[in-house]
Amino acid sequence: MASLRQAPSETRLPRLRIATQICPTKFLLARRVLTGRNLRILDIGCGNFSPSITKHWFPGCHYSGADIQRYKNTDEDMAAIDDFYLLGIDGSGYDAIPDSSYDFILLHHVIEHMPDRDPIPVKILSKLKPGGVIWIAFPSLKSLSLPSAEGSLQFCDDPTHVYLPDVREVSNLLLRNGVKVLHAGRTKDFIRSVIGAAILPVAFLRRTLTGNLSCKGLWYILGFEDHVFGQRRAS
């Protein structure tokens, strides 16, 4: 277990404020299954203000973050992390995370960065308690045909994307490892889709005038993200 608390502070973005006003789909699904305030949550790839957002929607939870670096997290976010596990891009560091210990595991846009498709996700699944749930989100096949944009809208916009997951493939991985698939497919978020639809004309007008397109607000309206949500069988 390691600490990154000495890293420089990041500036909060409007995205964080939106995420604490509109409950993300991954949390809506988890809250339908999980009860209680003393949940143990493991967030693999805990950047983008995820610690404070998670604790906002799951107050009283024990939050464990695991990542290869600190990415877009404020000092407040770092203070919200109860345990931090430093991971290596070679797949090292996972053995330090206790097995069968977590009620909710998050892999939000992580597996597309993993060159080894099965070994690391299988190791992560071993950290899930019986009855615990896991959310795995990743770019959809459709992302290959979307326009390029700042912040990644076309799959290859991000040079660290090395693997395009598939809903059926990820679902089978969970099923082989004792996890029942509760929900899978294109991630839908009505409110964020409405926001995306509202700014879509502005986004493309900006592209016409400046040549630049931002992905902000466009993920859900254009179908960038797929997910698999599952629950470990009790026995």
Place of tokens 């960038």: 224
Residue 20: pLDDT band (50, 70, 90) is low
The answer, yes or no, to whether residue 9 has pLDDT greater than 60, is no
| Residue-wise DSSP of 183-206 | EEEE---HHHHHHHHHHHHHHHHH
Average the pLDDT over 14-22 and give the result.
62
Rounded to the nearest integer, the mean pLDDT of the chain is 86
In contact, 34 and 129? CB cutoff 8 Å: no
Lowest mean pLDDT across 59-63, 215-219, 230-234? 215-219
Strands (E), 23-127: 40-44, 62-67, 83-86, 102-108
- Residue 139 bridge partners (DSSP): 225
What confidence score (pLDDT) does residue 4 get?
A: 40
Boundaries of every domain in the chain? 14-144+155-189+224-232
Assigned CATH class of 14-144+155-189+224-232: alpha beta
* Cα–Cα distance for residue pair 70/86, rounded to 1 Å: 10
The pLDDT assigned to 108 comes to 95
Torsion angle of the four alpha carbons 190, 113, 3, 94, in this order, in degrees rounded to the nearest 10:
110
User: Angle, nearest 10°, between helix axes 50-57 and 25-33?
Assistant: 40
For 99-151, the pLDDT digits (tens) are 999 999 999 999 999 877 778 999 999 999 999 999 999 999 999 999 898 88
More confident residue, 42 or 189: 42
Is the pLDDT reported for residue 70 higher than 90? Answer: no
- Token duo for residue 30: 């988890």
Contact 124, 94 (CB under 8 A): yes
Task: Return the minimum-mean-pLDDT range out of 35-39, 60-64, 174-178.
Answer: 35-39
Q: Strands 62-67 and 83-86, how do they pair?
A: parallel
